[in-house]
Structure 1
Amino acid sequence: MNTTSVIDVSGLVSSLSARGVEKQLRRLPGVSDVQVNYVGGGATVVHDATLTNVAALQAQVERCGYHCRGESVPDHLCEPHAKDAMAHDMGHVPFGSTSLLLLHASRSKSLPTQCSRT
């Protein structure tokens, strides 16, 4: 039974490195198609789930010298509190936190002004 898995691939720097990962993933049993996007940092793999699983895909990517967090999950499937924690770790202010936004604006040296037309 064929299934499509989208996995995270970090550290790719060019289309050449993406091709190398594609080549190595195709060597796994049951893999019928692979497309790696080095800009997006991911790989779409069509494979027979009875022969190859996501853990095997992840291990093969790591054997190539790249980092793989496993299967990518769309934002709409993530738990809301997990996204908030990630946003916090990245220094982003959650939507609706106007007090923090105002604090940030008050500490800013230059506040945005209207554009002047010349």
Structure 2
Amino acid sequence: MQQFEQSPYIVSGTTLVPMRAIFERLGATVEWNQAQRTVKAEKNNTTIQLTIGSTTAVKNGQNVKLDMPAQVKNNYTMVPLRFISESLGAKVHWNSKTSTITITTS
């Protein structure tokens, strides 16, 4: 089980998680651009870029619609868990009985 300095939270059915913690645990490198308020993650041949407040992310040069925009909470960049995990090749499972999210990588 992973614990994060900033706890995940749910907004309109979308779980938001601390971006750097998730990206790095999935093996990606992370770059933050404060001036543009963008974050870029790279793993193997996958590049993902998100902009705070935007409902569009860019994966390998292609626009992808997000259920919820990336946002800042308590100085942490929070991003939609399912999009980030699946974009980096992981599987996400929600267990409603235990309110637990399981992320599996190959």
Q: TM-score, normalization: structure 2?
A: 0.26
- Larger strand proportion of the pair: 2
- Larger helix proportion of the pair: 1
Q: Which has the higher contact order (CA 8 A, sep 6+)?
A: 1
Q: Name the larger-Rg structure.
A: 1
Q: TM-score, normalization: structure 1?
A: 0.24
